[in-house]
Every structure is written in C-alpha cells, then in structure tokens.
Structure 1
C-alpha cells in the first residue's frame, strides 16, 4: 500500500479578489459603431455598460491583479500558496500556460500551476479541482482565478456579440479547513451541441443566441437543484444565487425556477457584461465587498457556456 499525505477534513473559499479594466463602454458608445441602441441591448441581454481592456491589459496581468487582491484579503503571503489554477478560454498563446506566469509575477515560488478551459463554466470547474486537491492532501492553499480578455476575440461589427462580452478577472483562495464548505460539484457537457458557441474564422467568437437561451433556461435549473440536493441544502436555505453572468434574462429565468425567492440574485451582468470564467468570482467578490453576503452565507454557483459545459456547487462563506 502506498502512503498518502494526511488530508484535512475539508476545504473552504476563504477570500476573493477582482479586477476590471478602467475603460467603460456604454450602450451609447456601441450605437456609434453598429446598428443597435440602448433599448435593444437592455431588452435582450440586460447590459447597460461593460469594461473593455486596453492594450496594457492581458489575461495574465488581469489575473495577477485579481489574484493579488485575493491573497491580501485572505491575509496570505505568496509562500502560502502551493497550487495556482487559471480558468480561461482567451489566452493569446497556449504555451506557456498562464498559471505559471501569473504565479511567478505574484512571487509564488514553484507551485503546481495549470490552466483550465471550460469556457464560461471554467471557474466552477476550477473551484471543484481546487477543493479536491485540498481534500486529497495535494495542496493546502489554492489560488483559483478566472481571467478573460474577450475583446481580443470580438468582431466589433457584429452586433449580436459585441454588445455582450467584456473583460476582467476574479479570484478566490481555497484553503484547508476543519469544516468542508464547498459542496459536491455537479458537472457535465452537451458536446453534441458544441457548435452553438464557437470561433468563427478561428478568430471571432460566435454564438447561436436563441439555441443557447433555450438550453440554459430549460435544462440548467435542474443542474442547480441537483447541486443543492447533493450538498444537503434546501432552496429556502440559500442566501444567494450567483450564476454565470451570460444574459440578464437567462439569470432571472433560472432564478425563478429555483424556488428560492429569499435568495439574493447576482446581476453583475448589468454593469460588467459577460466576462466568461471571470463572471462568477467577479460577482461574488463584489457582493462580499458591498457587505451583501455576511459570514456563513450559503451561495449556489452555476457556470455554463461553450462546450456546452456546465457545473454547479454550493459554497458556504467563512
């Protein structure tokens, strides 16, 4: 029999950090470029404005900014981190991976480091991987970051996509704790429909909006309910529901089906746009920062996107 490291009883999310580029692009700004207007955009996706990165911002630099804030919020030094996971689908170069670069820039010496691409479900996938690593004894403190520069992959003359997507990064620290506060992940994919979101001409993000809308609003609330069931949490116990910020109509449609009217629903999409794997940690971090989620809050997360991949889990905040 092989010896194994002694593992803690559980894993918890202990801190958040976020970064958004300073440039704000409003619906009025987009009206000057494509055939659209504020009413059309808000009625379909619920977005008023979004943040767009400048040339000085990269997937890596935004991840460093968000990750550094998460470390500071958790009272951790770079020496405390032994694994870095970056969830992203928008890195410019596949080699080297973003995680190792981000770790080095943060002063984290010789951690495990890997990128994870589950598109907009990436943060939930990475959170599950971090939780398993901690519970299995492979890590004590994991820095999990979702970072996206979707503006690099936009056709800015395509009004169906340029009004939706944006840039930013969100991070969380997952640490070994006596109590387990990250519920079992419920994940999966619908690869037979992967052609609904893809890169057109290998450079422009394209999605079949109506097909994605039908999929998310008719099928994914069942995934969310299963995640609550596996965590032993009733809808009435939820403090908040934080889904991927894809579209305000999607967010609200799923929220209505959960049967948790008391739960605060994240609506970061209105001012942040769709930031793919960054959207859930961005929204969570901002809600915590505003004092909307006190200690002990029970939060349901639900990520979904290209693949078509999805994942959900319940977390309890420290």
Structure 2
C-alpha cells in the first residue's frame, strides 16, 4: 500500500445465535398482568428468546463468533483484536472477551469488553474501526452478546416483556476497499437514572448480593430521548459523508421498539421494506440486536454488495451512535 492510499475496515463475515427457548406474549400473559395486544401494539414484539440455565453470555458469544469466522473463512488465531459488547458479562472479571478468546484458541490478541448497553455494538465497531484504520490491527472480531433475562424483574410488566437473549458477531479486515465510512458515538450521563440497574459491586451492594439488582426504566422519557437523539445522529451521519437521505439503501437499527424504528425510518424518508426488523421475533437483545439483524439481512441476501447501510442505536447511559458503511 502506498503512503497516499487510504485504509478502511470492512466486514468480511457475520454470525448470529439465538437460544432455543421461545417466550411468546401468550406465555407472558400467564406470568404477569399483560396481554399480547398490549405488548404488540406498544412495542411490536411477538416473542423473544431466553437462554437456558446452563447458557452464559460467553456461550452465546462463542456460537455467533464461530459462525462469523467460518463465513469469513478465517482462523481464530489470525485475529489481532477481540471486542465483546455486553451489559451482562459472565463474570466481573476476567472480561467475557478474554473468556471467548480462550475458547477460540487465540493466545495473543488484545481482548476486552465494552459496556454501552444497547449502543455497545456500535461503540465496539467504532473502536475496532480505529484500530484497523491506524494499522494497530489488521483483523478484528466484534461480538454483541447478552443474557438480558438475568437482570429482569419478571413481575414488572413494563420491562420484562421487552427484552430477550442472543448474540451477533462480525469479522472485520483492513484493506483499501471502502467498508465502514464513518462512525459517530455520543453519551450524556445526566440521564442515567432513566434506564439503569441501580445496584452493583461497589454501590447498593446489599441489593446486588441478594440478587435484587434488576433493570429499571422510565419508559416514556426513554422513548422521547431515543427518538430525538436518533433523529440527530441520522443528520450528523449524513452531513459527515455529504450524503442525502436517499443515498442510504438499508437501515439496520437497534431493535428496541417498532415505534422508535418507524420514527427513524420516517426521518430518512425510508420505506419499512428497506428497514431490517427483527424486534418482533427477538425482542430487545441490547448490544446483540444490531449484529443479529445485520447477520439475518446478509444471510438471506437482502443486503447486496455496493449498497449503503446505516446502523444506529440508543441505550442506557444515555449512549447513542451510528455506523455508516458500504457493503463489500
């Protein structure tokens, strides 16, 4: 590569894994005061997957990672970087990325977790992209994996109906051919109390140790902030690339709520046929939702070489961000 040639990172393989157990809205009707109509109307969710008791976040991550590596045609030992985006790690430490690295048989690449909740995969892609663009790495594995069912209060009908478990993964490689065009990430911690798990290993530890540390959410406030910030990130991404709304071929959004997804599509002037939607079958899998949706659309042939893809997410923190790429 000559000095004036630009280095890009591009996705060369995708993978995904969903646990076998399906929890439908009808099942939830027998568990909590809710209804299929209420859930479907407000969220677009019909069912979600729940990890088995013996399955950990790393188990899900490994299944997705191995598929992504196989589809990319690369061996785990050739990876220069491993990042796992997760809110529900196996352990406090070591990181889930280190646990995954050991299972894959890679003995030297830096491996670490990123915690940005539902925006975690976008944050992880941002970091990996910079490693590859600067030459610090040539090949990276980025995984979004969650067992959100482990931090839910199953008596809280406002939150337990929303989330599911799963993992998605991508393999990235550096090269001259454009792939990721730009990444944009933000956070505003002043809104942290609107969506959080209010206990941990150094704060409200009694609640943590008793097993009572569960996700809490002020749904209406979160919805308003999500729609606002995702609209802004669309404008920022397009402006940074001197693109028009019609230049985007596919929207692969975080799968939190169908109404939020529709609002972002409206912002782009994009028909829902060009939006990858999995929330109806997966629920909100937090950091795993974008790579799972991307994998599905790549695997079934919807996303084609040369098309422009916008991924965007919003999550607790608050965090939000986007990735714009040319599929190659």
1:303 deviates by 1.4
Q: Deviations over 1:32-86 (max 9, x none)?
A: 0100110000011110000000112111111111000000000101122111000
1:243 deviates by 1.1
**After superposition, where does 1:147-162 map in structure 2 within 5 Å?**
147-162=145-160
1:261 deviates by 3.6
1:259 deviates by 2.3
Q: 1:207 aligns with which of 211, 214, 217?
A: 217
2:142 matches 1:120: no
Partner of 1:231: 241
Distance in 2 separating the partners of 1:96 and 1:102: 10
**After superposition, where does 1:1-318 map in structure 2 within 5 Å?**
9-200=7-198, 201-202=207-208, 203-261=213-271, 264-318=274-328
Q: Report SS of the residue matched to 1:280.
A: helix
1:179 deviates by 2.0
Gaps of 5+ in 1: none
Q: Deviations over 1:152-198 (max 9, x none)?
A: 00111111111000000000111011123212222111211111001
Distance in 2 separating the partners of 1:92 and 1:106: 16
Partner of 2:204: none
Q: Report SS of the residue matched to 2:252.
A: strand
Partner of 2:202: none
1:262 deviates by 7.9
Distance in 1 separating the partners of 2:176 and 2:273: 27
Inter-CA distance 75–182: structure 2 relative to 1 (3 Å threshold):
same
1:217 deviates by 1.5
Partner of 2:201: none
1:7 deviates by 9.3
1:109 deviates by 2.3
Distance in 2 separating the partners of 1:254 and 1:44: 16
1:231 deviates by 2.7
Contact 1:224 1:313 in 2 (8 A): no
Q: Report SS of the residue matched to 1:161.
A: coil
1:291 deviates by 1.0
Q: Report SS of the residue matched to 1:204.
A: coil
Distance in 2 separating the partners of 1:162 and 1:258: 31
1:316 deviates by 1.3
Q: Report the count of equivalent residues.
A: 314
- Cα root mean square deviation, aligned: 1.7
1:235 deviates by 1.4
Contact 2:47 2:283 in 1 (8 A): yes
Q: Report SS of the residue matched to 2:180.
A: coil
Q: Report SS of the residue matched to 2:197.
A: strand
Inter-CA distance 26–137: structure 2 relative to 1 (3 Å threshold):
same
Contact 1:26 1:50 in 2 (8 A): yes
Contact 1:7 1:136 in 2 (8 A): no
Distance in 1 separating the partners of 2:7 and 2:256: 34
